[in-house]
Amino acid sequence: MARFPAYLQQLEMESNGKSVDLSGTRVGYETAPVVFGEPGTNGQHAFFQMLHQGTTIVPIDFLVAARPSNADAAHHNLLFANCLAQSQALMQGRTIEVVRERLRAQNMSPAAIDSLAPHKVFEGNRPSSTFLYKKMTPRVLGQLIALYEHKVFVQGVVWNINSFDQWGVELGKELANTLTPIVADAGRSTEAFDSSTAGLIAAARAYR
């Protein structure tokens, strides 16, 4: 599961990262989201600050097992509680009134409360879905893969885009074929390239 977010990145962004529909007409709506994630508290201490208080609302999926596979039971309970706490915090948030009341209970001065309170407000109402399963097994992993693959396929149908081509990736491969001999041979000219690419090649040659 540690690598599951990476799989979902490939599944969603490579499949549905399109800007034209099946007829070749530019779409007038957002298609694939940017997908990222990390297991357990790695994610909590990496990007959850943005999810809670950032200016962009990002939907999040929590995948959690009720029973640990191999981990210590007490440690698993702690991680499980953190999962539930994060989803609860995203949903409920914390109002300025509650923040001020809690700060007053800490005997802070009115001036200190006025200064600190806005930073501790959480808007809440940030969307998340929690997928709870009994225990991570090969069957459960297969079910999760099937769920997300079906989701991506249905989104492609709704958005009227082709989820099964990757022309953006193909462009990069095509350009790489042209660049490879230039990168490998310091004597080759870079005049045919744009100034940014030529400058990077020159800098790399200098480093080498």
What span, in angstroms and rounded, lies between the C-alpha atoms of 179 and 164? 27
- Per residue in 123-180, pLDDT (tens digit) is 999 999 999 999 999 999 999 999 999 999 999 999 999 999 888 888 889 999 999 9
pLDDT band at 44 (very low <50, low <70, confident <90, very high): confident
How big is the chain by its Cα radius of gyration, in Å? 24
Residue 180's Cβ-side half-sphere holds a number of Cα atoms within 13 Å equal to: 6
Residues forming the active site: 14, 45, 173
pLDDT higher than 80, residue 48:
yes
Q: Kindly report the CA angle at 70 between 66 and 76, in degrees rounded to 5?
A: 45
